[in-house]
Every structure is written in structure tokens, then in C-alpha cells.
Amino acid sequence: MEQSIKPSTEENFLYYAIKYKNAIIAALVLLLSLGVGSFFWVRHQKTNELDAALKLSQIAPLLDVGAYDAAINGKGNVAGLKKIADEYAGKFTGTPSGNMANLLLANAYYSSKEYEKALNIFKTVSMENNDLAAAALAGAGDCLFNKNQFAEAAESYQEASKKADNSALKSQYLANAAKSFQQSKQLAKASELYKKIIADYPGSTGAAVAQRSLWQISGNL
């Protein structure tokens, strides 16, 4: 019987390299393209962030004096929040300053009592920071509350409380949710939530608000 000779590792490698050379070349080209693409994408995003941050800094003085229309639509050579958000905000392609512009745009509409516009923008806000993301959810809750949609407002506030990292914000958002239940005459739900705030966040502003509100509704339960 002849003894079979096993090919060496080098021979195996050469065999597969020849047999699958087209696939290997295609894979290498793809990896190279992705690497180059990622490099240019990162550089492009950095440039966009610098542009967005510069434009956003020019809006701050308008917000400080309550010039919301000018802040939203721009003034002279200063681009407004709407334009900045349109160009630089987005869940996947947005920059931090662009996404912040979107949040400030929603706040500006809210401050102008344009609750429907504000609500629509708050729903599109994308923030990596949990407290800022929670602020958008709470902003949506504020809009719904002012539109007398109290059940939806309570839900949005509760989502904001779950999202937030800061305990003071968590308690405040829950207090707003309880207030929404109270406003819609769901006093049992409001009372339960007020008690939870007092128990879970003692000493917080939210707990103080909850205690006062609980005294107010205690006679009606």
C-alpha cells in the first residue's frame, strides 16, 4: 500500500488562494474601500460638527433675550435653528451640535406656544446623552399637557424618568406624570405615583412637590 502524502500547509494555502482568488481579491477590495470610506466619513463628520457648533454659538444670544422667531428662522447672516437642524441633525448622520440645535428648536417652538410644532420636533430629537434624551421626552410631555392630552403626557413623562440618569430629573418627571394624572381626575394613580416619588427620592424637589400635591388631593380620594 502506498503511503498517502499530506500536502503541506503552504501547499494548502496556495491551493485555496488560487481556487478562491476572485473572492479573496473582492474581499480585500471591500475591506480597503470600507477603511478609506470610514476615514473620509469621520473627517467629514468632524468638519460638519465644527460648522454646526459655530452656527449654534451664534444663536445663543437670540435665545438669551427670548428672540425665538429669529432663533428659529435666522436673522441676517445668522442661520436659524431650523436650518442648522435640517443640515446637521439626524439619528445616524447627525452631529452633536446639530442634534442639540434640534432640541433647542423644539424648545423655541414650545416657548413660542407653538405646541404642535414643538411636539413634532421633540419626537425627532436624537441625543446620546441620556439626560438630554430624557429632556426631549419631557418636552413632548409638556406639549401634550398643554394640549390637554393628559394620559399621553403622563406616559411621556414616565418614559423621560426612566431614561434620565440624574435622580433629581427622574423625580421631577415623575411628579409631572402624577400631575397629569391629577389633572385628568385619575386621583388614585396620581396618589400612588406621588407616594412612590416620596419613597424613592426623599429630599428631592420632586418629593417636596409630591408631598404638597398629596396633601391637596388626600381629601378627595
Dist CA 134 CA 170 (whole Å): 9
- Kindly give, in sequence order, each residue whose CB lies less than 8 Å from that of residue 134, ignoring residues fewer than 6 positions away: 160, 161, 163, 164, 169, 173
Tell me, what's the pLDDT at 93? 77
**pTM, whole model, 2 decimals?**
0.77
Tell me, what's the pLDDT at 90? 84
* Amino acid at residue number 110: Y
Dist CA 123 CA 186 (whole Å): 26
- Report if residue 94 sits inside a domain: yes
- Report if residue 93 sits inside a domain: yes
- Report if residue 164 sits inside a domain: no
Tell me, what's the pLDDT at 33? 52
- Report if residue 84 sits inside a domain: yes
Question: What residue ranges of the chain have pLDDT lower than 70?
Answer: 1-45, 219-221
Burial bucket for residue 110 (CB in 10 Å: 0-12, 13-18, 19+): buried
Where in the sequence is the domain holding 80, given as residue range(s)?
22-128
- Report if residue 63 sits inside a domain: yes
Dist CA 51 CA 29 (whole Å): 33
Dist CA 12 CA 104 (whole Å): 62
- Cell numbers representing residue 167 in the block: 435622580
pLDDT tens digits, one per residue of 146-189:
999 999 999 999 999 999 999 999 999 999 999 999 999 999 99
Tell me, what's the pLDDT at 37? 46
According to DSSP H, which parts of the chain are helical? Answer: 9-19, 21-57, 60-64, 68-73, 81-88, 96-111, 115-122, 130-146, 150-163, 167-183, 187-200, 205-217
Nearest-Å Rg of the Cα atoms of the chain is 27
Tell me, what's the pLDDT at 2? 45
Dist CA 197 CA 200 (whole Å): 5
- Report if residue 138 sits inside a domain: no
Return the number of other C-beta atoms located less than 10 Å from residue 5's C-beta: 6
Dist CA 125 CA 105 (whole Å): 10
Domain count, the chain: 1
Give the phi and the psi of residue 69 in degrees, each rounded to 5.
Answer: -65, -45
- Report if residue 58 sits inside a domain: yes
Dist CA 41 CA 36 (whole Å): 9
- Report if residue 137 sits inside a domain: no
Tell me, what's the pLDDT at 30? 54
